[in-house]
């Protein structure tokens, strides 16, 4: 009988020790989880700030873009309405940057400055000038369009 009590007592001590170890492991795991959670929260906050900054930047660019489009017709008051409409369509048109098929898979989000410059030169070619438009007005238009593309 006495041996049985000793056995139960030892078993309970062993179980208590085992539970204490499990408790320590759980506490350690809990601390790691909290640290990971805090790190994730900081990262989420950083990304939210970045998204907000980009949203504000985008809104500013849209407003600037809208303002330049409003100013467009004011800039060409000395030109007939028909030509202003044609110029406005050309103003809204963006250059297409040629890419090889192999490049389209690994394509960067924006074309290189050299590609963009070449494409803009093609658009600014006097051969693209609408009939009846003075070369001085065409140059002024090209400068305005380049400025808009650069801001974009």
Count Cα neighbours of 47 within 13 Å in the Cβ-side half-sphere: 6
Q: Give the model confidence (pLDDT) of 128-152 as tens digits.
A: 888 888 889 888 888 888 888 877 7
Instruction: Tell which wins on pLDDT, 34 or 120.
Output: 34
Q: Give the model confidence (pLDDT) of 56-108 as tens digits.
A: 999 998 898 888 888 887 888 888 888 888 888 888 877 665 444 444 455 55
Report how far residue 61's alpha carbon sits from residue 58's, in angstroms, rounded to the nearest whole number.
5
Name the residue ranges covered by the structural domains of the chain: 1-70, 76-152
For residues 95 and 123, the answer to whether their CB atoms sit within 8 Å is yes
pLDDT at 102: 44
Report if pTM > 0.85. Answer: no
Q: Give the model confidence (pLDDT) of 7-64 as tens digits.
A: 999 999 999 999 999 999 999 999 999 999 999 999 999 999 999 999 999 999 889 8
**How many angstroms from the chain centroid is the CA of residue 152?**
13
């Amino acid at each position: 009988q006495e041996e049985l009590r000793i056995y139960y007592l030892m078993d309970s001590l062993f179980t208590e020790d085992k539970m204490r170890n499990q408790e320590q492991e759980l506490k350690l795991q809990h601390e790691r989880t909290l640290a990971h959670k805090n790190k994730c929260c900081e990262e989420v906050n950083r990304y939210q700030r970045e998204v907000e900054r980009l949203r504000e930047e985008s809104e500013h660019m849209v407003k600037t873009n809208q303002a330049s489009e409003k100013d467009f017709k004011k800039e060409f008051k000395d030109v007939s309405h028909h030509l202003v409409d044609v110029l406005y369509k050309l103003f809204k048109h963006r250059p297409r940057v040629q890419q090889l098929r192999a490049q389209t898979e690994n394509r960067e989000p924006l074309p290189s400055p050299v590609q963009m410059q070449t494409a803009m030169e093609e658009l600014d070619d006097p051969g693209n000038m609408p009939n009846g438009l003075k070369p001085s007005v065409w140059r002024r238009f090209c400068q305005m369009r380049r400025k808009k593309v650069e801001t974009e």
